[in-house]
Amino acid sequence: MNLSIALFGITREIVGRPELQLLAVPAGQTVAGLLTQLRAQYPALAQLSSLAVAVNNEYAEPDALLHERDEIALIPPVSGG
């Protein structure tokens, strides 16, 4: 399956673009598996103190299964003041 991932904040800077297309992702991929794959491809992502994944506009648990038409977003840590 193919996945499209929206990137925000520092994740956009690390990857170098606002959206990432992953091709030929195995069926049954989980959020945790996706993060493992992305951290291997972009080691700077592993340096972030936290990194949330939203699937279809809701925060996703690590064991959530991903589907080809899901709206996926990486949400980096944010600070406010």
Reduced to 3 states (helix: H, G, I; strand: E, B; else coil), residue 19 is: strand
- For domain 3-75, the question of CATH label 3.40.50.1370 is answered with no
Helix (H, G, I), strand (E, B) or coil at 7: strand
Q: How far is C-alpha 32 from the chain's CA centre?
A: 9
pLDDT recorded at residue 77: 80
15-68-38 Cα angle (round to 5)? 25
The whole-angstrom separation of Cα 3 and Cα 20 is: 8
Task: Tell me the domain boundaries of the chain.
Answer: 3-75
| Mean pLDDT, contiguous 10-residue spans, the chain (81 residues) | 94 96 93 95 93 96 96 84 54
* Nearest CA-CA partner of 61 in 30, 27, 16, 26: 30
pLDDT score at 80: 57
